[in-house]
């Protein structure tokens, strides 16, 4: 549907009256309003209102190029189009069965002055936010170009409450800081972090996306990007005095940001906005801004629940390397994991440390570390694959690259052929350490292209993929549904970090920040909270209650859910383990019942293909009461609710492993109030009778 008549009237008024407003577009529900302006000097800017409240003040757009040496920030309007789009689509897996994609689009065709370079700026206005990107069409005198800086601004209307981590080219594994925007100081926040393997902090006033904020008026604002392809990760430079943000792209070894050839387009810059925190978590705008699946036959893509031969290396029971004499990935030990997975209905077993090379793998700029096909002598892969098949379980392959992405690319075909030959269909990649080739960062254009090339190769060989130590996701799992999850944040393994570890509020912030771009392999499911099981003097610990660990299987969405703890610890609480056995990893519907970033989240999800629901509620360091309204259930039906909750004296610090299980009958009129302990939570299975 076109609105050319409306657009032309606005355009005519702007030039006759010498006003700046070029066009105004409202969201389909009329709550959000986008204003795009072109000043008499040719500077283009945008602003956003939610109803009558300013969210983004006029913010300019543009580029600075190194080759040719141009600044593209003064434009003439060549033409423009507006349209409305509405469709629905079905994800291969996800939080909901069907997604509505409804937006109004403005496409501005601009000519930069005085260079005559043609640039398009495309805005899409959804009910819960906007996305915009730059496009460089094919043109006679402008083909190859090098980006020095992207000059995109996000000018905030006030001193927002902000949930942030330091801008860093190589890691996302920071604890979140909660301050006013004016109080962002990335350097002291980074200096407190002693347990991150590699840091490349940008500066004191730089932060990462997704950036979550709450305005003084109580409006929630999230800034991120969508469809990151052939372009570096965007960080944000904060002008703390004037409440402004400026895009900052990750450079390469010589300081360039991106190498492009027309036709070219940037990722979408996304701003999700609502006066309800629950709407931020429910938003599908980032997914909608990504391209549809490039895989026609997706029958081989299956969400999974698995256990890992992984945690025992973190807590000192075993090692990755064989030479230590405590090698965890030996045949007999892995058989025990296979048995546990089979006995409890899990789909797979991840095995880390299975392959030769772990004795000399980290921090030495060593290019050829692993070949991804040679097992250690005490790891009989064929025997284990046969045993796993007999027990109905899959082995999940681990490919740690030690940051040598160039080595992985050289060997990836042979490695994936090896997986096909062995019948292994899922791989976890890792990028610990400095990136090889030298000078590249985890967030650079070259590495972004590497992650996407790996996803393409995985499609070619029908391999399901998850990536650790990668750049944070931007919704590309719509395009690559075989790309099930990423880490790209401070995960549960940091419970064992001796300096800071995790804090109880962490799980109430991640869904509003890192997880806006896609699922996270957070590895919940810990039943032993003190991590001195094998090294008595160890002081590290898990800072949640056991009930909260269960709840995270609902609140921390992933189609690839790991059960984090050791089998011997999980067996101590078979009644609590039952929830992990029951909870699915794929869903037909999701309801965010209540949420406040940094404080609490309560989520209900309906299992794919049946009528059962599961609820998870988590809180920060404060005890609170969650009120669960079951009005999402079918009218007139009865359900048995099994409630796994903290007991009254539970406490993440003093008494974390105590819980109780209760059974009640509920229907759509039921409301339950459940106490959550400090650092606690509750999980509820709801089975239709």
- CA-to-CA separations, 305 to 383, 393, 525, 605, in angstroms, rounded: 22, 11, 11, 16
Category of 51 on φ-ψ map: left (φ > 0), alpha (ψ -120 to 50) or beta: left
Rounded CA-CA distance 600/580 in Å is: 21
376 and 356 Cβ atoms separated by less than 8 Å: yes
225 and 474 Cβ atoms separated by less than 8 Å: yes
The residue count of the chain comes to: 689
Q: Which H or E element spans position 239? A: strand 234-239
DSSP state of 345: T
Report the relative pairing of strands 600-607 and 587-596 from DSSP bridges. antiparallel
Helix (H, G, I), strand (E, B) or coil at 42: coil
Report the relative pairing of strands 464-467 and 426-430 from DSSP bridges. parallel
- CB count, 10 Å around CB of 345? 12
487, 493, 505, 507: which is the annotated catalytic residue? 493
DSSP state of 448: H
- Tokens 């590249």, located at residue: 440
- CA-to-CA separations, 94 to 184, 273, 515, in angstroms, rounded: 34, 22, 13
Rounded CA-CA distance 566/279 in Å is: 36
Q: Which H or E element spans position 617? A: strand 613-619
Rounded CA-CA distance 100/285 in Å is: 9
Structure tokens at 167: 């801008």
* Nearest by Cα to 338 from 391, 298, 290: 391
397 and 434 Cβ atoms separated by less than 8 Å: no
Cis ω on the peptide bond leading into residue 568 (within 30° of 0)? no
* Nearest by Cα to 566 from 233, 298, 336, 361: 336
Q: With 0-12 CB in 10 A as exposed, 13-18 as middle and 19+ as buried, what is 83?
A: middle
DSSP state of 678: B
Residues 6 or more apart whose CB falls under 8 angstroms from that of 152 comprise 59, 61, 62, 246, 247, 269
Rounded CA-CA distance 533/546 in Å is: 17
Structure tokens at 586: 């794929």
Residue 508 backbone dihedrals phi, psi, to 5 degrees:
-95, -5
657 catalytic per annotation: no
182 and 242 Cβ atoms separated by less than 8 Å: no
The catalytic residue positions are: 493
């Amino acid at each position: 549907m076109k609105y050319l008549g409306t657009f032309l009237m606005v355009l005519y008024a702007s030039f006759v009256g010498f006003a700046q407003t070029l066009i105004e577009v409202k969201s389909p529900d009329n709550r959000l309003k986008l204003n795009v302006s072109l000043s008499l000097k040719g500077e283009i800017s945008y602003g956003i209102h939610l109803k009558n409240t300013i969210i983004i003040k006029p913010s300019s757009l543009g580029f600075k190029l190194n080759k040719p040496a141009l600044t593209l920030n003064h434009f003439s309007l060549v033409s423009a189009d507006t349209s409305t789009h509405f469709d629905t689509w079905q994800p291969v897996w996800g939080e909901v069965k069907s997604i509505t994609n409804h937006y109004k689009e403005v496409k501005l065709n601009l000519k930069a002055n005085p260079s005559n370079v043609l640039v398009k700026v495309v805005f899409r206005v959804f009910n819960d936010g906007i996305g915009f990107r730059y496009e460089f069409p094919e043109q006679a005198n402008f083909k190859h170009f090098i980006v020095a800086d992207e000059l995109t601004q996000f000018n905030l209307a006030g001193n927002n409450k902000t949930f942030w981590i330091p801008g860093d080219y190589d890691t996302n594994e920071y604890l979140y800081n909660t301050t006013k925007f004016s109080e962002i100081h990335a350097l002291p926040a980074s200096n407190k972090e002693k347990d991150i393997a590699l840091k490349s902090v940008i500066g004191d006033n730089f932060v990462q996306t997704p950036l979550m904020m709450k305005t003084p008026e109580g409006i929630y604002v999230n800034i991120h990007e969508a469809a990151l392809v052939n372009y570096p990760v965007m960080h944000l430079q904060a002008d703390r005095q004037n409440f402004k943000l400026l895009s900052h792209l990750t450079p390469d070894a010589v300081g360039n940001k991106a190498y492009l050839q027309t036709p070219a387009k940037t990722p979408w810059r996304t701003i999700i906005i609502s006066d309800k925190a629950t709407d931020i978590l429910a938003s599908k705008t980032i997914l909608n801004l990504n391209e549809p699946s490039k895989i026609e036959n997706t029958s081989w893509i299956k969400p999974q629940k698995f256990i890992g031969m992984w945690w025992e290396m973190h807590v000192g029971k075993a090692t990755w390397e064989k030479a230590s004499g405590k090698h965890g990935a030996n045949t007999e030990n892995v058989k025990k994991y296979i048995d546990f997975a089979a006995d409890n209905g899990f789909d797979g077993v991840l095995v880390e440390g299975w392959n030769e090379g772990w004795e000399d793998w980290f921090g030495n700029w060593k290019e050829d570390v692993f070949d991804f096909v040679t097992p250690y002598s005490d790891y009989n892969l064929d025997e284990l694959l046969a045993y796993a098949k007999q027990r109905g379980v899959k082995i999940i392959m681990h490919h740690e690259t030690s940051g040598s992405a160039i080595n992985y690319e050289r060997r990836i075909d042979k490695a994936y052929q090896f997986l096909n030959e062995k019948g292994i269909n899922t791989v976890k990649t890792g990028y610990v350490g400095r990136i090889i080739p030298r000078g590249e960062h985890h967030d650079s254009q070259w590495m972004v292209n590497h992650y996407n090339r790996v996803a393409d190769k995985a499609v070619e060989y029908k391999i399901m993929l998850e990536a650790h130590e990668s750049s944070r996701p931007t919704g590309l799992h719509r395009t690559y549904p075989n790309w099930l999850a990423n880490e790209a944040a401070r995960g549960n393994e940091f419970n064992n970090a001796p300096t800071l570890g995790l804090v109880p509020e962490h799980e109430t912030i991640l869904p509003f920040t890192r997880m806006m771009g896609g699922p996270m392999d957070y590895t919940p499911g810990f039943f032993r909270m003190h991590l001195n099981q094998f090294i008595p003097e160890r002081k590290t610990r898990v800072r949640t209650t056991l009930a909260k660990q269960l709840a995270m299987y609902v609140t921390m969405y992933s189609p690839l859910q790991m059960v984090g703890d050791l089998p011997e610890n999980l067996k101590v609480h078979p009644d609590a383990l039952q929830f992990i056995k029951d909870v699915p990893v794929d869903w037909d519907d999701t309801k965010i019942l209540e949420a406040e970033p940094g404080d609490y989240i309560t989520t209900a999800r309906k299992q794919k293909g049946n009528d059962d629901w599961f609820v998870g509620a988590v809180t920060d360091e404060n005890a609170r009461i969650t009120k669960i309204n079951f009005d999402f259930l079918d009218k007139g039906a009865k359900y048995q609710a099994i409630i796994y909750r903290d007991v009254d004296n539970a406490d993440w610090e003093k008494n974390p492993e105590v819980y109780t299980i209760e059974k009640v009958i509920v229907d759509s009129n039921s409301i339950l109030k459940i106490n959550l302990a400090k650092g606690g939570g509750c999980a509820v299975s709801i089975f239709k009778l």
